[in-house]
Structure 1
Amino acid sequence: MTQRAYPTKDELRRNFERELASVTTGGGLHSETWLDIETDAALVDIASAYPEIDVSLVTAARAAFASRLADVDTIADAGAPGASSESEPGKERNPHD
């Protein structure tokens, strides 16, 4: 069985939405989400502003996350083992294919 080195875009989207939901409801961030420093920082800004969260903070977090997704495309385009912009659920990419 091949282990993927990077999460898929769908996995990253789920992680981001879970983290965004957490910080907008007074919760904190989780570790090992594969989100980048910029996205984490934007989410921390939201958590720090809770309960008075300005929409601009959420917009900034979404923009930071969009950059993270672009990074995933760059990694996949470079042919990194296990990197994939999308994958079938439950199916891992074999770097030897």
Structure 2
Amino acid sequence: MTACLHTPGLILGLLADLGDTPAAVAAALHNAGITGRPDSADRCPIAYYLFAHTGAVDLAVSREEIWVQWPDSNTFATTPAPIAQFIARFDARQYPNLTRPEVRR
């Protein structure tokens, strides 16, 4: 039997890689070409970053908590302070270079 790697530690480790300040997080996301939608739990840059690095089938990101679902399990993690601060600033439209344009159909 193999150990499940889908743990809060996986999520927290990926988020720590983005940096320890909101500005560092924004710079890392910008350098990676990741954008997103303000006020969206599953379409913000943090969500897109986690989708790209975890193989998750669904997830939701907030300033308080992150929920990630895989085909065989799900996990929760408390949102680290630099990520929560980034989300607050992103939702306040302080990082327009990370905002994905709206697509009209």
TM-score by length of 2: 0.28
TM-score by length of 1: 0.30
Q: Higher relative CO (CA 8 A, sep ≥ 6), structure 1 or 2?
A: 1
Could you say which structure has the larger radius of gyration?
1
